[in-house]
Amino acid sequence: MSKKNRVARYQADRTNQKFYFCRLACKQAAQIQDKQQYQASCETAIFHLQGAYYAFLQELAQFYAIDTPTPSIEYLQEQLAAKTLISPELERLKQIRQDGVLANILNAYQRCQYMPKPELAAIEQSTSTDLIVNVVTLSNQWLPDEQTIREWRQEFMAFIDSLRAGMAEY
């Protein structure tokens, strides 16, 4: 196997690994009764889905022979434009990033990282004196359940598989 094919295979395996880790986190969430552990497992699954997105961008960068330390759709498009190339994969990724499964994943990831401040009334109504319980109770109302995350995983994985099927060597 050539060195280029081995590196490309590594990149695809990394993307697949992120999907696998997401599946494991969803499975763990489904088996948990504790709200705090459930939230942690769901957030972990979301983190791995977001990681799959970045791993796939690295996969595309490798496919198009673009050296990139931190891939983004915009950066890859700029580099391809310099080579007078276009990527239909990046165009489709942009579409679902705006309105589709990737938009849902990235929005959920953003909410995990930067939770809006809860209303003061909700904090005052909480009967628990445990700060962690309060944070979990007040912050997980937006969190998708593990079934929704599983559906996102399946949809995003099928999408990436369809992009891979259409990729051809230049």
More reliable by pLDDT, 24 or 125: 24
Q: What tokens were used for 170?
A: 């230049």
Residue 54: what pLDDT? 95
- Domain range list for the chain: 3-166
Q: What tokens were used for 158?
A: 């099928």
Query: In whole angstroms, what is the distance from residue 22 CA to residue 51 CA?
Result: 9
Residue 1: what pLDDT? 43
pTM over 0.85, yes/no: no
Query: In whole angstroms, what is the distance from residue 70 CA to residue 57 CA?
Result: 9
Q: CA dihedral in degrees (141, 143, 148, 149; nearest 10)? A: -170
Percentage of the chain beyond pLDDT 70 is 76
Ramachandran angles phi, psi of 150, nearest 5°:
-60, -45
Residue 93: what pLDDT? 95
Query: In whole angstroms, what is the distance from residue 24 CA to residue 16 CA?
Result: 13
Residue 5: what pLDDT? 59
> Does residue 115 carry a pLDDT above 70?
no
Confirm if 124 and 61 have CB atoms less than 8 A apart: no
Residue 119: what pLDDT? 59
The DSSP line for 106-168 is HHHHHHHHSPPPPPHHHHHH-----HHHHHHHHH-SSPPPHHHHHHHHHHHHHHHHHHHHH--
> Does residue 170 carry a pLDDT above 50?
no
Residue 90: what pLDDT? 94
